[in-house]
């Protein structure tokens, strides 16, 4: 058993060392700079990038290389959709996550072996560390999707109000969407990015209906899906866009207020476990402690 653990620890250490050397090794720019110095030639200076950012890029490149070795095929449509909903649009993002999903279980198993925690239950602890390392990247991606959808949900009423103002001021829907994206760039960057992508797709030749449907699919948010359905029906039946947007904006703001009221009503229920676990025992010790000590003195003749 000890020999097996030693072999596994050695393999994990070698794998981790190889990945780190590959990720943080100097790239082609260093070789080009040295050759240019030998030949007295001028090399174009790279933009000023911090050391931490360069190290992160190298680490991402190393993880992407591991992901390509494990899964050389292109990511599935579901994986690409999850990345888009999380706001991650790098071409090698899925390969990076795959590489991290392979490397993290090795790191956790090595940490368990190094600390000696596995002695309590070798099979279960090692298996749990490997499974946790494999599932953590997926959980992180789902958390990113949920967090971004929450930010989009909060930004929707403000964006709709601006859209209503722009449309009622005489702008067309395309120009109004572009204006809203510019105005929301600092306050709600996620919604601004999605609207800018929508405008870019329409400028590249995609019809407004298809671009709107792609927006709903890309975000996966029910409020945006309802807005897209309303805009498509408005365009199909020729009704007033400004009036439809105003009604939808009022309805969405009402929904946001109802969500806030629902969250406020849940506070008392969520406080019960905290009260029972943390506050109630302390109160019992303070209130009932002297009485319990007195009872023990009387019944057992103890001096406490």
Answer whether residue 3 shows pLDDT above 80.
no
pLDDT of residue 31: 44
pLDDT of residue 12: 58
The b-or-e profile of 254-277 (16+ CB within 10 A means b, else e) is: ebeeeeeeeeeeeeeeeeeeeeee
pLDDT of residue 148: 93
For the chain, give the number of residues.
304
Answer whether residue 142 shows pLDDT above 80.
yes
Segments of the chain assigned to CATH 1.20.81: 149-265
- What pTM did the predictor assign? 0.71
**Cα(108)–Cα(237) distance, rounded to whole angstroms?**
59
Answer whether residue 171 shows pLDDT above 70.
yes
Answer whether residue 193 shows pLDDT above 90.
yes
Tokens standing for residue 28: 């082609």
The CATH code of the domain at 149-265 is 1.20.81
Q: What is the pLDDT of residues 100-138, one digit of tens each?
A: 888 888 888 888 888 877 777 778 888 888 888 888 988
Lowest mean pLDDT among 19-33, 57-71, 280-294: 19-33
**Cα(83)–Cα(65) distance, rounded to whole angstroms?**
18
Q: What's the first-to-final CA gap in the chain, in angstroms?
A: 51
Answer whether residue 23 shows pLDDT above 80.
no
Asked if 219 contacts 85 with a C-beta cutoff of 8 angstroms, the reply is yes
DSSP type of residue 120? S
pLDDT of residue 296: 80
- pLDDT-derived band at 94 (thresholds 50, 70, 90) equals confident
Answer whether residue 304 shows pLDDT above 80.
no
Mean pLDDT across the chain = 80
pLDDT of residue 179: 92
- pLDDT-derived band at 5 (thresholds 50, 70, 90) equals low
Answer whether residue 143 shows pLDDT above 90.
yes
Q: What is the pLDDT of residues 214-254, one digit of tens each?
A: 999 999 889 899 999 999 998 888 888 888 888 888 888 88
Share of the chain above pLDDT 70, in %: 81
**Cα(42)–Cα(21) distance, rounded to whole angstroms?**
29
pLDDT of residue 38: 47
- pLDDT-derived band at 16 (thresholds 50, 70, 90) equals low
pLDDT of residue 268: 86
């Amino acid at each position: 058993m000890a020999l097996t653990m030693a072999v596994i620890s050695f393999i994990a250490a070698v794998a981790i060392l190889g990945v780190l050397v590959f990720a943080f090794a100097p790239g082609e720019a260093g070789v080009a700079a040295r050759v240019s110095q030998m030949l007295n030639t001028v090399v174009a200076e790279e933009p000023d990038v911090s050391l931490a950012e360069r190290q992160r890029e190298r680490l991402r490149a190393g993880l992407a290389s591991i992901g390509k070795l494990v899964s050389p095929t292109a990511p599935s449509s579901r994986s690409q959709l999850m990345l888009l909903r999380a706001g991650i649009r790098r071409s090698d993002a899925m390969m990076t996550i795959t590489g991290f999903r392979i490397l993290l279980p090795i790191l956790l198993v090595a940490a368990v072996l190094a600390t000696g925690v596995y002695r309590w239950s070798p099979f279960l602890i090692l298996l749990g560390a490997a499974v946790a390392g494999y599932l953590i990247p997926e959980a992180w991606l789902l958390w990113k999707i949920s967090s971004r959808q929450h930010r989009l949900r909060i930004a929707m009423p403000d964006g709709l109000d601006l859209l209503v103002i722009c449309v009622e001021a005489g702008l067309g829907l395309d120009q109004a969407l572009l204006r809203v994206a510019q105005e929301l760039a600092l306050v709600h960057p996620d919604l601004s990015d999605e609207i800018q992508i929508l405008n870019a797709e329409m400028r590249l030749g995609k019809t407004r209906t298809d671009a709107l449907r792609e927006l709903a699919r890309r975000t996966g948010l029910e409020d945006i899906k309802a807005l897209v359905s309303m805009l498509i029906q408005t365009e199909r039946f020729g009704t007033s866009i400004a009036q439809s947007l105003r009604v939808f904006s009022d309805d969405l703001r009402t929904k946001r207020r109802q969500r806030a009221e629902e969250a406020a009503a849940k506070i008392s229920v969520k406080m019960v476990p905290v009260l029972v676990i943390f506050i109630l025992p302390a109160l019992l010790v303070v209130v009932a402690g002297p009485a319990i000590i007195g009872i023990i003195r009387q019944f057992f003749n103890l001096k406490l």
